[in-house]
Structure 1
Amino acid sequence: MTQPSVAASTSRPARSRGPSRRPTLSLLPPPGYLQGRQMTTGPADLAAFDGIVLRVLSTGRVRRWTMRDGAGNTVSPPLQHSVIVNDPAAMRDAALHGLGGLLTAVPDVLPALSDGSLVRLLPDWCGDAGSITVH
Structure 2
Amino acid sequence: MEPLSAIEAFVRSAELGSFSAAARKLVLTPAAVSKSVARLEDSLGVRLFHRTTRKLKLTEAGEHLFADVAGSLHTLQEALTRVSSQRLEPTGTLKLSLAPAFGREYVLPVLKPYREACPRVLPEWHFENRQVDLIAEGYDVAVGAGLELSAGLVARELARIHIIAVSSKEYLKKHGTPKTPEELAHHQVIAFRSPRTGKPRVWTMRNRDGTEALVDPKPAILLSELDAMAAAVRGGMGVALLPTSQVLAALERGTAVRVLPEWYADGGPLLVYFSSQ
Tell me which interval the TM-score lies in, with the shorter structure as reference length.
0.7 to 0.9
Higher strand share: 1
Report if aligned partners of 1:54, 1:84 keep a CA contact under 8 Å in 2.
yes
- Structure 2 counterpart of 1:54: 192
Measured in 2, the distance between the counterparts of 1:117 and 1:18 equals 28
For the structure 1 residues 19 and 62, does the alpha-carbon distance in structure 2 shift closer, same or farther, using more than 3 Å as the test? farther
Tell whether 2:210 aligns with 1:72: yes
| 1:8-64: CA deviation from partner (whole Å, max 9, x where unpaired) | xx136987849825152x211102x11243332211111111111111223312211
Task: Find the aligned partners of 1:39 and 1:58 in 2 and give their Cα distance.
Answer: 32
1:11 to 2:11 alignment: no
Structure 2, unaligned stretches of length 5 or more? 1-146
Cα distance in 2 for partners of 1:55, 1:35 equals: 27
RMSD (Å), alpha carbons: 2.4
- What CA distance in whole angstroms lies between the structure 1 residues aligned with 2:168 and 2:236? 6
SS, match of residue 99 in structure 1: coil
Given that residues 195 and 224 in structure 2 are in contact (C-alpha distance below 8 angstroms), is that contact kept between their aligned partners in structure 1? yes
With the length of structure 1 as denominator, give the TM-score of the two structures. 0.79
Identity across aligned pairs (percent)? 27
What secondary structure does 2:219 align onto?
strand
**Unaligned 5+ residue runs, structure 1?**
none
Contact 1:51 1:83 in 2 (8 A): yes
Aligned length: 127
Q: More helix by proportion, 1 or 2?
A: 2
Alpha carbons of structure 1 residues 57 and 45: separation in structure 2 relative to 1, 3 Å: same
**Following TM superposition, where does structure 1 have runs of at least 4 consecutive aligned residues deviating by more than 4 angstroms?**
12-19, 132-135
Query: Matched residues in 2 for 1:38 and 1:29: separation?
Result: 11
- 8 Å CA contact retained: 2:161, 2:270: no
Counterpart position of 1:20: 160
Q: What is the distance in 1 between the residues matched to 2:154 and 2:222?
A: 31
- Give the superposition deviation at 1:95: 1.2
Cα distance in 1 for residues equivalent to 2:262 and 2:177: 14
User: Letter of the aligned partner of 2:191 in structure 1?
Assistant: V
* 1:78 shift after superposition: 4.1
Task: Provide the rounded CA distance (Å) in 1 between the counterparts of 2:247 and 2:241.
Answer: 10
CA shift in 2, pair 1:13/1:91, >3 Å: same
Letter in 1 for 2:160: S
